[in-house]
Structure 1
């Protein structure tokens, strides 16, 4: 069975470091263009495909949307690992906000987890950091809302905290 791929793999999509630069539904400030409230954005797609895609050890990239999907899948896995330490929703918000704002490697860094997938020109690195920080903050908000609906961690999400997508960590 093949992995689920992004619906945002249009070759005409604007690119940032060889990945799609897509609009997202968010209140977090950043460079991403706003998406409509009823539109499905890349974050909705990544969360929706996470439970199925996390079982795959390989992933064929079909376009620029898949590059973001891979990164967000790895980031969601990292969020779930952090949420294991949270006892309630308030603590979970704090943990994921801290995680999103931590300094993370960009494709220009040697410690970047996905070196062959992204290619950044020197002028794109700062915009990449801003856009992916915005994505990380929004993913954190949505994951807390999903995992801590009743102020207790949802076991059907937390059971995926030990899985590794593509045998990688961010």
Structure 2
């Protein structure tokens, strides 16, 4: 059974790419360079929908730049889940994940980025700044929606069905 790919692959020709990562519109309340999404379903929703199914795969055939954005999102969700445990209350999780999303992080082409073999670096300094701003906005929105998903039923503890995936490594990689 093959892994699930991004539904935004068809939009790759319309979206901006930095390196070979798609810069897709996001429904967000956070400041950043992303264009606002006109549809109800965006790349953040897709990352959350496909995370649990795709984490079982060690191999993933990349079909376009939108898949690279999906991979980054899945690896970031995994990193977020690794920061939490079953006793973390919602307020503490908000603090932890907000700090994680704002922490300094590596982008493609930098030494600390774990997927440099799959991602092309930005062409110049302006593209690198744009990509860092987009990924910061992407990470903030993804962390915010992940909190809503994890604590949907009970604000005192996260869903054990989501935290069970913190031990899985998608493509044997982590951010």
TM range (shorter): over 0.9
1:136 aligns with 2:139: yes
1:6 aligns with 2:10: no
Q: In 1, distance between residues paired with 2:160 and 2:86?
A: 14
The aligned length equals 169
Aligned to 1:155: 160
Aligned to 1:39: 40
TM-score (ref. length: structure 1): 0.95
TM-score (ref. length: structure 2): 0.92
> What 5-or-longer segments of structure 2 have no aligned partner?
none
Q: Is the 8 A contact 1:86 1:95 kept in 2?
A: no
Q: In 2, distance between residues paired with 1:64 and 1:87?
A: 35
Aligned to 1:108: 109
Q: Is the 8 A contact 1:86 1:92 kept in 2?
A: no
Deviations 1:89-141 (A, max 9, x none): 11000000000001011112122111022212123111111000000000100
Aligned to 2:23: 21
Q: Is the 8 A contact 1:21 1:32 kept in 2?
A: yes
Q: In 1, distance between residues paired with 2:85 and 2:50?
A: 21
* 1:38-57 to 2 correspondences below 5 Å: 38-57=39-58
